[in-house]
């Protein structure tokens, strides 16, 4: 099967869904690029080149370069979704989301509920997240816990190219607002990705490693590190199950509880800040639902509760590493 | 006494296999082993299986340790007569390892191809010699392998390479399955699927073939033999449909309904006598297949047409006697999808019911199934 990058996988999902359904439109800053200026058309395809090639195929009617006003075009995308289109809006960096919280939290997330189930809001908001890019504190946050906190939103965090394509197709076909998180350090990761369209259901975890000793839950880029740690530990005779929930809302709590029931030990790896983050959320879930299965206290591997540093040396020290996951696993095994 | 030292290498079970894990040795160092003895249990990302010794003699050295993961071709053990001294065996092991390191990665594995057939696109994998053998004789009649409901050409990964030693062996994906197009040209009943396979044979430029069909694929092979006996040299039915009315519809419906790992794993447990053979990758691959657009409607249409009301719609038992094509049946005794009793439709001499195997008998007992198929097609060639 063909190997494709995370970037190609998302591009392919968008292309196939736009071919299948004329209601799917793209909007965002430079999703094509070059609008209204002399020079190259389709110059950018978004800041990371994910949407390149879509404007030439589908035209500017369906691939809309917007002004630099997140509050404006996110609101427009939500309104368009409420009135019949299926927009995919590119919010570039999740760090910029703050200016459109009302549109997302109070409008998109609430329409279905406030209108008695009679309204749907099939909008997808794509956004980049995560550190390691030397992009400093205002372009490196995770912030998915904020969106997971809001009922009415679906939150998707793919960790591989295969998942990225299938989850994006599901996001576009879903009738609820979906915040689609793309880790900026994963765009060049390669994986076997079928040419045909496919949808991965939300709320179904992926088990990337299987073992009886320790359950490791990780999201996004942390899944790669958890796999690395699990492989290193296996050589020393410690077998980990690595669970990638893939979506934090809805979340596949069954898979986590079932695995902890077998292993009795849990390490949660989260690139988000430790307070009110997904690591704390998963730890609380297990403490409440599977306390008697636990053979050791739950360990969280997260960055410290500080902004992402700009200094490369500090940024590297800030992020969780495979070595820190190994250490935590050894801690719960001790 | 012979002073020959013979290696036992990591087998290659199918295309996807690049390495295997030695789960357990089943014989002690120093034991006399015969060719075909079960000597190792090897786990791949797809399946765990016992490995039968390709050679006979005394197992002088267990080179691979239990728990070790090694690439295909890596030295697992050494067989030699008792007269061969330890130093010679040490030298052999060292030499083999050096040679293996120099050989490096194996040559690129053959890849399945997509070919337009009438009304659909077939995916096919061809292994084995293309044309006339070195002796100058004509090419042996090829084997065409047809998988069952929900399967794909990789279901034959433990069989196709072994059978391809002396003839072309082509495994195909049925419409709606694997990498084939997900449209069903002409519908989901056995006759329409047999027509699609005829189209695939034309696209593959196969005029005549030995058909090997598993489950649904077996009924398709019988239909093809009835419709076009001139195109069929022999039929091997593996846990086949078409020989009786019963079929496990809980399995069929469960397979269609399962969209999560846990449900899928529980469903496919019914396929094996030994459910421990089911790996995480096997379940993941099935879910990946089922998520492809068009798969669910295709499976639904086939189930509704071929297994309507929980009974098999197409029956060939009355037509077997008049069929001018030799037919054999291979079954797993513990088949929980189609009862092994259906094999009694085939004459005793051509009926092989293997113990300790379920519906996926060709994966659970590949060595025996391969021997039976190879002997049958060779005999049918005359």
Per the listing, tokens 């999740």 go with A94
Instruction: Report the pLDDT value the prediction gives residue B134, as an integer from 0 to 100.
Output: 45
What is the CA angle B80-B84-B89, rounded to 5? 75
Please compute Rg for chain A using Cα positions. 20
B4 DSSP assignment? -
CATH of domain B5-103: 2.40.50.100
Q: Does A197 touch chain B (CB under 8 A)?
A: yes
Which chain B residues are within 8 Å of A194, Cβ to Cβ? 288, 292
Please provide the average confidence, as pLDDT, over all residues in chain B: 90
Instruction: Report the pLDDT value the prediction gives residue B15, as an integer from 0 to 100.
Output: 62
Do A11 and A182 touch, CB atoms closer than 8 A? no
| Contact state of B280 with A207 under an 8 Å Cβ cutoff | yes
Confidence check: pLDDT of B119 > 80:
yes
Question: Between B259, B280, B293, which is nearest A201 by CB?
Answer: B259
What domains lie within chain A, and their CATH numbers?
3-192 (3.40.50.970), 206-333 (3.40.50.920)
Please provide the average confidence, as pLDDT, over all residues in chain A: 96
Instruction: Report the pLDDT value the prediction gives residue B102, as an integer from 0 to 100.
Output: 63
Average pLDDT over residues A293-305: 98
Give the C-alpha separation, B155 to B362, whole Å: 8
For A1, the closest chain B residue by CA position comes to: B111
Give the C-alpha separation, B105 to B52, whole Å: 24
Average pLDDT over residues B211-223: 98
Cα A244 from chain centroid? 11
What is the phi/psi pair of residue B196, to 5°? -65, -40
Instruction: Report the pLDDT value the prediction gives residue B138, as an integer from 0 to 100.
Output: 61
Greater pLDDT, B45 or B158: B158
Which chain B residues are within 8 Å of A162, Cβ to Cβ? 288
What is the phi/psi pair of residue B312, to 5°? -75, 130
Q: Does A198 touch chain B (CB under 8 A)?
A: yes
Do B173 and B199 touch, CB atoms closer than 8 A? no
Confidence check: pLDDT of A201 > 50:
yes
Do B206 and B142 touch, CB atoms closer than 8 A? yes
Which chain B residues are within 8 Å of A199, Cβ to Cβ? 291, 293
- Of the given ranges (A83-92, B25-34, B334-343), which has the lowest mean pLDDT? B25-34
Percent of chain B with pLDDT strictly greater than 90: 64
Among B260, B278, B285, pick the best mutation site for testing chain A contact (most A Cβ within 10 A).
Answer: B260
Within chain B, all domains assigned CATH 2.40.50.100 are found at 5-103
Instruction: Report the pLDDT value the prediction gives residue A210, as an integer from 0 to 100.
Output: 92
- The residues in B 203-262 lying below 8 A from A, measured between CB atoms, are 259-262
Give the C-alpha separation, A184 to A181, whole Å: 9
pLDDT in tens, B178-206: 999 999 999 999 999 999 999 999 999 99
Per the listing, tokens 């990705």 go with A193
A:B CB pairs within 8 Å: 29
Instruction: Report the pLDDT value the prediction gives residue B55, as an integer from 0 to 100.
Output: 84
For A258, the closest chain B residue by CA position comes to: B262
pLDDT in tens, A231-268: 999 988 999 999 999 999 999 999 999 999 999 999 99
Question: Between B182, B280, B291, which is nearest A200 by CB?
Answer: B291
How does residue B105 score in pLDDT terms, banded at 50, 70 and 90? very low
Beta strand pairing call for A124-129 and A178-183: parallel
pLDDT in tens, B252-295: 999 999 989 999 999 999 999 999 888 888 999 999 999 999 99
Question: Between B259, B280, B292, which is nearest A196 by CB?
Answer: B292
Beta strand pairing call for A266-269 and B57-62: unpaired
For A200, the closest chain B residue by CA position comes to: B291
Question: Between B261, B262, B293, which is nearest A198 by CB?
Answer: B293
Q: Assess if CATH 3.40.50.1820 describes domain B113-381.
A: yes
Within chain B, all domains assigned CATH 3.40.50.1820 are found at 113-381
- Of the given ranges (A299-303, A325-329, B54-58), which has the lowest mean pLDDT? B54-58
Instruction: Report the pLDDT value the prediction gives residue B19, as an integer from 0 to 100.
Output: 83
Q: Does B99 touch chain A (CB under 8 A)?
A: no
Q: Does A236 touch chain B (CB under 8 A)?
A: no
């Amino acid at each position: 099967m063909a190997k494709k990058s995370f970037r190609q996988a998302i591009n392919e999902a968008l292309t196939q869904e736009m071919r299948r359904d004329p209601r799917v439109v793209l909007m965002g800053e430079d999703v094509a690029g070059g609008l209204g200026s002399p020079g190259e058309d389709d110059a950018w395809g978004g800041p990371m080149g994910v949407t390149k090639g879509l404007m030439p195929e589908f035209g500017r009617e369906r691939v809309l370069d917007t002004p630099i006003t997140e509050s404006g075009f996110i609101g427009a995308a939500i309104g368009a979704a409420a009135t019949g289109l299926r927009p995919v809006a590119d919010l570039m960096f999740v760090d910029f989301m703050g200016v459109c919280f009302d549109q997302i939290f109070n409008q998109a997330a609430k329409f279905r509920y406030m209108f008695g189930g009679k309204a749907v809001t099939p909008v997808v908001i794509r956004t980049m997240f995560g550190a390691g890019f030397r992009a400093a504190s205002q372009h490196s946050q995770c912030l998915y816990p904020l969106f997971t906190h809001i009922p009415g939103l679906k939150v998707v965090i793919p960790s591989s190219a295969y998942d990225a394509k299938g989850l994006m197709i599901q996001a576009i076909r879903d009738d609820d607002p979906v915040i689609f998180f793309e880790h900026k350090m994963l765009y060049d990761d390669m994986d076997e990705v079928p040419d045909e369209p496919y949808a991965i259901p939300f709320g179904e975890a992926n088990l990337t490693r299987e073992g009886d000793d320790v359950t490791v839950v990780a999201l996004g880029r942390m899944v790669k590190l958890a796999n690395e740690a699990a492989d290193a530990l296996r050589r020393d005779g410690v077998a980990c199950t690595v669970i990638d929930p893939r979506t934090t809302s809805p979340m596949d709590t069954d898979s986590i509880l079932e695995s902890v029931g077998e292993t009795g030990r849990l390490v949660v790896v989260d690139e988000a800040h430790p307070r009110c983050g997904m690591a704390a959320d998963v730890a609380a879930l297990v403490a409440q639902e599977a306390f008697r299965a636990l053979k050791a206290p739950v360990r969280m591997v997260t960055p410290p509760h500080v902004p992402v540093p700009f200094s490369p040396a500090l940024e590297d020290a800030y992020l969780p590493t495979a070595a820190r996951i190994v250490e935590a696993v050894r801690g719960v095994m001790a | 006494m012979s002073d020959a030292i013979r290696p036992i290498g990591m087998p290659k079970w199918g295309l996807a296999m690049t390495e295997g894990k030695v789960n357990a040795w089943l014989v002690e160092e120093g034991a006399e082993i015969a060719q075909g003895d079960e000597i190792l249990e090897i786990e791949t990302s797809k399946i765990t299986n016992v490995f039968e010794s390709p050679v006979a003699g005394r197992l002088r050295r267990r080179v691979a340790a239990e728990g070790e993961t090694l690439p295909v071709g890596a030295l697992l053990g050494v067989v030699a007569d008792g007269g061969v001294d330890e130093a010679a065996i040490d030298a052999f092991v060292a030499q083999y390892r050096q040679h293996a390191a120099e050989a490096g990665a194996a040559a690129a594995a053959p890849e399945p191809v997509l070919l337009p057939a009438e009304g659909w696109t077939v995916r096919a994998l061809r292994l084995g010699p293309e044309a006339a053998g070195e002796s100058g004789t004509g090419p042996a009649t090829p084997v065409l392998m047809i998988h069952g409901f929900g399967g794909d050409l990789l279901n034959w990964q433990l069989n196709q390479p072994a059978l391809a030693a002396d003839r072309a062996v082509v495994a195909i994906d049925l419409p709606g399955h694997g990498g084939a197009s997900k449209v069903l040209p002409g519908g989901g009943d056995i006759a329409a699927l047999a027509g699609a396979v005829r189209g695939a044979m034309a696209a593959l430029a196969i005029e005549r073939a030995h058909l090997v069909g598993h489950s649904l694929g077996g009924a398709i092979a019988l239909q093809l033999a009835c419709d076009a006996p001139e195109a069929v040299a022999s039929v091997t039915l593996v846990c086949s449909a078409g020989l009786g009315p019963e079929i496990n519809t809980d399995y069929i419906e469960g397979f269609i309904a399962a969209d999560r790992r846990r449900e899928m794993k529980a469903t496919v447990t019914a396929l094996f006598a030994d459910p421990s053979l089911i790996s995480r990758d096997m379940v993941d691959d099935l879910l990946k297949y089922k998520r492809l657009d068009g798969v669910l409607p295709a499976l639904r249409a086939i189930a509704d047409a071929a297994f309507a009301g929980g009974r098999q719609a197409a029956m060939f038992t009355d037509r077997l006697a008049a069929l001018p094509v030799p037919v054999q049946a291979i079954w797993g005794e513990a088949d929980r999808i189609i009862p092994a009793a259906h094999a009694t439709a085939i004459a005793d001499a051509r009926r092989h019911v293997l113990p300790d195997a379920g519906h996926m008998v060709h994966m659970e007992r590949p060595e025996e199934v391969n021997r039976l198929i190879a002997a049958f097609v060779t005999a049918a060639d005359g």
